[in-house]
Chain A
Amino acid sequence: MTTSGTSRRTFLGLAAGSALGALGLSACGTSGPAQPGGAASAPATGGGAAGTASMWALTGQPNQGIREDSVEAFNKLGKGSIEVTFFQNDPYKAKIRTAVGAGEAPTIIFGWGGGILKSYADAGQVEDLTSWLNENAAFKDKFIPAVWKAATIDDKIYAVPIQNTQPIVLYYNKMLFEKAGAQPPATWDDVMNLVNVFNGQGVAPFSLGGQSKWTSMMWLEYLFDRIGGPEVFDAIYANKPDSWSNPAVIESATKVQELVKANGFIKGFSSIAADTQADQALLYTGKAAMLLHGGWAYGNMKATQPEFTSSGLGWANFPTLPGGKGDPKNAVGNPANYFSISSKATDEEKAVAKAYFTDGLFTDAEIDAFINSGQVPVVKAAETKLASSPDAAFQQFVFNMTSQAPNFQQSWDQALSPAQAEALLNNIDQLFLLKITPEQFADAMNGTLGA
């Protein structure tokens, strides 16, 4: 199982390598402040508004292909042209930061919203799109409202949502549940009971890619919300002093440690990395019964294990907690990905980028492409189209989760500043290893507030 993962990664590596090569070629065309003279690939656009804007996005199918098609279709409209370069996920995060810092960002910047977008906005590196969006209300209205939150900083919008919504879902292995005669957990008591049931059968109750740390973080994201409601993290996000000492924080951390002590997670979880998808493999090979993971895991499993995904994979909402204040419909995860416009771009480049947003993003063809790949695009128009999709059951679940969530909390490591996020991931890791108590966790995290 892991071999197929490895070869796929190798392929992605090659793809990234070739993308870097392409960058080397295109760099000379984009670094100039004004007219990118070297851009021989700009199509003849028969007069009118013509210009070239650069775009950086991520490698990896199906989204890379969808983006390529979308850009190609836009370039034929005669409203300017986009040159897109693709990068692998993790190297991109470091590269885009360096490029933005050096004032060499592309016109259109791919991002995740939240804390990193805030640091760009604070440094004046990205365009404030608020007034433009107000002028183009029809465009703004295309989207599921919940996805704008992560693009909004101090009531100003700095990015437009793209691609698909990725709430965190509780996946389970239907075969194992049938064998155990069990139902997916609706409450936290059910969770603890199922831990005993599956441990008794020699199956790990929960798979967890703990080495990646953000995987463990997902548990706390849901627990905070279910126990204390969105206010708990809102206070942390607002850097209110001692906001990590909220009783809901201590209770969540205690619940997690109880689950660890009850062998709720698979043995060796702290050495399992999510980026090799070993945590998903544990679920579909029947070594673990449940997995809390992002919505993208469905597409990953569909690609590698189509049979299991169509017949053996179940999904549910995160369970409720007795006396919890949070709405059980609240969701956490990545609401969407985002495109921002570099404030260093020329007016002409900015105009092309905006034209792409209104005329190139989420065309009917693009929406269909996302749906056919098993994903849920972040636009309202997706709802009616989802019904006829082969993956309708999962996609409608995800669409409803996102569109009906009273609060969609963005993943903490994206929402917080990079320094806080790093400290958070480190402390969560220690919490799951039982190296620190919930109180020590809260104290350590209080120390990062206001930083």
Chain B
Amino acid sequence: MTAVAPLAPAGTGTELQEPAPPAGGAKSRLGILVLPALLMFLAFAFIPLIGVLVLSFTDWDGISAIQFTGLQSWVQVLTDPGTWHALWLTFALMIITWLVQTPISLLLGTFIAGQQHYRAFLAVLFFLPLLMSSAAIAIAFKSLLDPNFGLAAGLHLPLLAQDWLGNPTLAFVTVVFVIAWQFIPFHTLLYQGGVRQIPEQMYEAAQIDGAGRVRQFFSITLPQLKYTIITSSTLMLVGSLVYFDLIWVLTQGGPGNATRILALDMYIRGFQANQMGAASVIGVILVVVGLVLTLLIQRIGGRDLRASQMEGM
């Protein structure tokens, strides 16, 4: 390491050096620049959202006339034990996938952030799952885990010959594993980037103070990754609300209802049972849960996002 990354001038003065606020004319011209994004958001996010909200108060099979039925769909969905089971599964999946993915991605990301060549090579291998679509991953795992024609039968390994996707408990565990396999590379990438942002001087200073590798990890790397952890956790937790393709191809929500999380429940109700009203209720629930979750994570992460992590640098 010869080149040291240029650092911002020390002290708190940086915040005062913001550019002067643009004049009124410039402001309206800048407003035009926002327009395309705003229109896209309105057309493809906001208006459909309103549509779903309206549909949740109706009874509609997708073909006949839409009938407003007030709260009937809400009552139907909220009194159905299947909904609560799906909600419970969704949260279980969210928390378990977070608990599995975060430590692994954090450690892998830290490892891969090192400059050694072999690590760069390993990184390429680790990131391969990122190139594959969920459906392809699901089809591949489904074939590998097939108890009769899969990996176990091919390699004659009785230990592997479990009924991975046919036993309700194992199916859930398998889904968690495949999700982790697919998404850990992405979060590893985030953490790798985060670790590389940490100024080298911090580690040099720690070494002079006699801190070992483990101490360095817990006292420097981990606190410095605070915002990366928040970003990655938000993506994981909110993302887990909409896991669909992978689980759909792997298990179709089965066996029984063992992997029928809310997103699948919504699809099955909407496009197999043709109950658009009930499906819209689930859609609204998903949106609300997602928003609450995002706000909550922001709260936990500290309100003042501009607070410095670089005291003394």
Rounded to whole Å, the gap between the CB of B194 and the closest CB of chain A is: 38
Q: Which of B134-193 contact A (CB under 8 A)?
A: 139, 142-143, 145-149, 163-166, 168, 171
Residues of B in contact with A (beta carbons under 8 Å apart): 61-65, 139, 142-143, 145-149, 163-166, 168, 171, 251-252, 254-257, 268-269, 271-275
Q: Which residue of A lies closest to B147 (CB)?
A: A268
Q: CB distance A269 to B166 under 8 Å?
A: yes
Chain B's interface: helix, strand, loop or mixed, by majority?
A: loop
Measured CA separation A368–B165 after assembly (Å): 43
A273 to B271, CA, bound (A): 19
Instruction: Considering the complex, give the chain B residue whose CB is closest to the CB of A435.
Output: B256
Min C-beta distance of B155 to chain A, whole Å: 15
- Residue A300 lies at the interface, judged by CB distance under 8 Å to chain B: no
Q: What chain A residues lie within 8 Å of B142 (beta carbons)?
A: 273
Contact B147 A101, beta carbon cutoff 8 Å: no
Contact among A122, A267, A273 with B64 in the assembled complex (CB-CB below 8 Å): A122
CA distance A317 to B62 in the complex (A): 39
* CB-contact partner of A123 in B64, B269, B273, under 8 A: B64
Contact between A278 and B61 (Cβ–Cβ < 8 Å)?
no
Per the bound structure, the CA–CA distance linking A270 and B139 in Å amounts to 16
Is the pair A6, B268 in contact by a Cβ cutoff of 8 Å? Answer: no
Number of interface residues of A (CB under 8 A): 39
A28 within 8 A of B: no
Among B64, B148, B166, point to the contact of A287 (Cβ < 8 A).
Answer: B148
Instruction: List residues of A (108-161) whose CB comes within 8 Å of B's CBs.
Output: 119-120, 122-123, 125
Name which of A65-73, A369-377, A425-433 contacts chain B: A425-433
Residues of A that sit less than 8 Å from B by CB: 1-2, 6, 94, 97-98, 100-101, 119-120, 122-123, 125, 210-211, 213, 266-273, 278, 281-282, 287, 417-419, 421-423, 426, 429-430, 433, 435
Q: Which residues of B contact A433 (CB under 8 A)?
A: 168, 255-256
Distance of A418 Cα from B273 Cα, bound (Å): 5
Which 6 pairs of residues, A with B, have the shortest CB-CB distance?
Answer: A271-B166, A271-B165, A422-B273, A268-B147, A270-B255, A270-B166
Contact indicator B146/A97 (Cβ below 8 Å): no
Interface SS of A by simple majority: helix
| Contact, CB under 8 Å: A267 / B163 | yes
Minimal Cβ-Cβ distance residue in A for B273: A422
Q: How far is the CA of A2 from the CA of B141 in the complex (A)?
A: 13
In whole Å, how far is B176's beta carbon from the nearest beta carbon of chain A? Answer: 16
B63-A271 in contact (CB<8A): no
Known pairs A418-B61, A423-B273; A270 contacts B148 (CB<8 A):
no
Alpha-carbon gap, A430 to B251, bound state (A) = 14
Residues in A with CB closer than 8 Å to B255 are: 210-211, 270-271, 429, 433
Q: Are B257's CB and A119's CB within 8 A? A: no
Residues of A close to B63: CB separation below 8 A: 97, 100-101, 119-120, 123, 125
15 contacts between A and B (CB under 8 A): A2-B146, A94-B271, A120-B63, A123-B65, A211-B254, A268-B165, A270-B256, A271-B145, A281-B149, A282-B148, A418-B61, A418-B273, A419-B274, A430-B256, A435-B256
A418 & B149 in contact (Cβ 8 Å cutoff): no
Chain A residues whose CB sits within 8 angstroms of the CB of B168 once the complex forms: 433, 435
**Nearest CB on A from B86, distance (A):** 12
